Chain A
Amino acid sequence: MKDLPQAVFVVDDDDAVRDSLKLLLKSAGISSEVFASAQEFLAVYDAAQPGCLVLDVRMPGMSGLEMQHELNLRGAMIPVIFITGHGDIPMAVEAMQHGAFDFLQKPFRDVELLDRVHRALARDTETRARLRHTDRIRERLASLSPREREVLDLVTQGKANKMVAGDLGVSQRTVEIHRAHVMQKMEAGSLAELVRMMMAVAP
């Protein structure tokens, strides 16, 4: 799977704020795409696009909080940095409860914003990598035969080959062969690695 380059999106209805944010990000070497309304952004946003979002809370038409809700419904996990001209605590609490990355009050210092943008981008990269990792584990699990899956479940419970053979009513030798296939298909170098993989995809 090929990674798209990261992008910073700015959504604010105030022309001056939007324009100055773009310039500030640019001065820090970060290119950004700006939008004057939530609707404008939602119309073009693709959830597969990695990056982060700088979002104004108070906007005509659809507020920042409403847009966050809409993104959640779409399963978009892009980190959202809220900016607001008049923040109150209930508003901030609501935003954080719905998974906001951070909450900044206008006006803010450049380092505050840039630091959060950098961290949000790093978080997004991590999240996406983690998701890619678990996706791969699930693919490998799907390639196992039913018998191989049974063996995997028993060995990751900590059972020795002899016990697994007893449980399944087969010879110890047969278990050893299945186990070798499991390690190969799961691309696991050790039992410990196999256990970690199973924990990563555990529900």
Chain B
Amino acid sequence: MVTPSPEVLALLEATFDAVVIMDDRGRIQAFNAAAEEMFGYRAADALGRNVSMLMTGNDRLQHDNHLKRYLADGEARILGKGRDVRVRHRDGSEFSVFLSVGLIPNTAPPQFVGFLHDTSLRRKALATLEKERQLNRLYLDLAQVMLVATNRDGVVQLVNQRAIRVLGKLEARIVGQNWIDSCVAPQDRTAARNAFRTLLLGSNDQPQSCEYHVRSADGENRFITWRGVALRDPANVTTGVMLSGEDITDQRRAESEAHKALERMNSVARLATMGEMAAGISHELNQPLAAIANYGQACVRMLRLPKPDMPEISGALEQISVQALRAGEIIRRIRSLVRNEDVRRESQHINDLIREVHALLASDARVHDGKLALDLAEPLPKVTVDGVQIQQVLMNLVHNAFEAQATEKRGDRLTPDRNSATFEVRIATRPTDGGDVEVSVSDFGPGLERDAEQKIFEPFFTTKATGTGLGLAISRSIIKAHDARLGYRANQPRGACFYFVLPAHQETAR
């Protein structure tokens, strides 16, 4: 038995692979630490024993024969080639190794060295690595955002499923292409290039945000909001960028749809309010028209008489003018209420606004057999408001108040001597302690139940059989837009009271 030189021993101990040296009869001559680790034998136990004890199956049975044949005719079956073999641990378990065997030169009788590389371990490592890659891929693909990595030149290195889906292209058509030239919508390329340059040149690692459209394979532009970071190697050299993008096309579309729906809702509610009031308005307008027609026709008849009563005719003609002006006034008020002008805030007196709608609201009162009372404090500071909107709110509140009382009354419809004095809605203004202006609309109806009190401002909540449930919600949003709050309190001694406090106009407070 040859004792290896110290250099060889050191080499044997340092290598990760198991190294086994055997003589011409297959007896183990050297067994390094890695071999001890791999097979579970201590070197002392292994030395001198036949190497076939480490082998399995046919190899184990045939090893001595193979060795003899080689020594006889020099036919190499394994020498210098290396192959995967199954081997046996001391505990009997089998595993795979990659075995390469070499003839040690200048040995007689010849000795052989076998290197056994634990491929199962390598495979395990490979598998782990692969698993990690897949997991990473999964992370990327699970992400609800688009993920795109490019190199310094903007060539796509990696793209996730989300991005692939948004772009509608095969991965192979994205990866390896210039990101901006192949995927960004033409009109946004300059912006995208600038954002890309900023990222590359930027010194900090804070994500940069930008928004631009990408163009999908079917030519559709999708609007994406991006966050990007520069990728750096260990030497802090920028190697590319990573972009994370969220497709907000649908969101934007939904937002704009919602906005449109709200606008439609507003106009529907306004139409509904106007529809409910149309009866009152047309009644109101037809009164002076009927009077004018009657007076005019009476005049014609009287003028045909042999001796016309001129003072009477003159009086009737005068009435015609008066009634025509009355009709014109009604139309003017209606127009100022329904025209769709842009929001215009002006510093004005709230009492003037209230008086302006009074005529139309009075017609509503008439429809409901009620009375609309004004209780306006003077003087009041001016308020900065959109007059038309505030008037709409007042119309809505007064209308609701009359409806509430009418609903309560329906039981005794035909009682001729009912007391209509209590059938009243009151618009009041007063200065608050803080110098602002409170506007309230009160009635003497049933008031609100606690349950309803919670919900009245919610859209589509209504206590009315034919209500849209939008009036109060819209009123509240109008008041809110005026930095005020539409509130409810019980009226004394009974009924409901809606109120809002408008901030006094600063400069012109008097």
A binds B: yes
- Residues of A bordering B, CB below 8 Å: 14, 16-17, 19-21, 23-24, 26-28, 38-39, 42, 58, 60-63, 66-67, 69-70, 83-86, 88, 105-110
A23 adjacent to B316 (CB under 8 Å): yes
Q: Are B416 and A17 in contact (CB under 8 A)?
A: no
Q: Which 5 A-B pairs have the closest CB atoms?
A: A20-B294, A106-B290, A110-B297, A85-B286, A85-B283
Check A109–B413 contact: CB distance below 8 A. no
Q: Do B413 and A66 have beta carbons less than 8 Å apart?
A: yes
Asked if B298 and A61 make an inter-chain contact with CB atoms under 8 angstroms apart, the answer reads no
Of A24, A38, A85, A110, which contacts B284 at CB under 8 A? A85
Quick check: B323 and A16 within 8 Å, CB to CB? yes
User: Which residue of B295, B299, B370 has the most chain A CB atoms within 10 A of its CB atom?
Assistant: B295
Q: In the bound complex, what is the Cα–Cα distance between A19 and B290 (angstroms)?
A: 11
Q: Which residues of A contact B420 (CB under 8 A)?
A: 60-61
Chain B contact residues (Cβ within 8 angstroms of A): what range? 35 or more
Question: Do A20 and B316 have beta carbons less than 8 Å apart?
Answer: yes
Given A86-B283, A86-B286, check contact A109 B293 (CB 8 Å).
yes
- Give the complex CA separation of A84 and B417 in angstroms: 23
Q: How distant is the Cα of A23 from the Cα of B294 in the complex, in angstroms?
A: 8
CB of B291 within 8 Å of the partner chain? yes
Chain B at the A interface: mostly helix, strand, loop or mixed? helix
Whether A20 contacts B319 in the complex (CB less than 8 A), given A60-B420, A106-B289, comes out as yes
Q: B370: which A residues are within 8 A, CB to CB?
A: 60
> In the assembled complex, how far is the CB of residue B304 from the closest CB belonging to chain A, in whole angstroms?
9
Q: A16-B291, A39-B417 are in contact. Are A109 and B282 (CB under 8 A)?
A: no
Give the nearest-CB partner of B282 in chain A: A86
Is A24's CB under 8 angstroms from B416's CB?
no
Interface centre among B278, B283, B294, B413 (most CB of A within 10 A): B294
How many angstroms from the CA of A66 to the CA of B319 in the assembled complex?
30
7 contacts between A and B (CB under 8 A): A14-B291, A17-B287, A26-B298, A27-B302, A42-B416, A86-B286, A107-B290
- Which residues, 273 to 290 on B, are CB-close (under 8 Å) to A? 278-280, 282-290
A36, chain B: closest CB distance, angstroms? 13
Contact B293 A16 (CB under 8 A): no
Instruction: Determine the chain A residues whose CB is within 8 A of the CB of B284 once the complex forms.
Output: 85
Instruction: Decide yes or no whether B334 CB sits under 8 A from chain A.
Output: no
| Chain A: CB-nearest residue to B283 | A85
CA distance A69 to B414 in the complex (A): 8
Chain A residues whose C-beta falls within 8 Å of the C-beta of B282 in the assembled complex: 85-86
Within 8 Å by CB of B301, from A14, A27, A109, lies A27
**Complex: A38 Cα to B418 Cα, angstroms:** 12
Bound-complex Cα distance A60 to B366 (A): 6
Q: Which of B280, B298, B420 has the most CB of A within 10 A?
A: B298
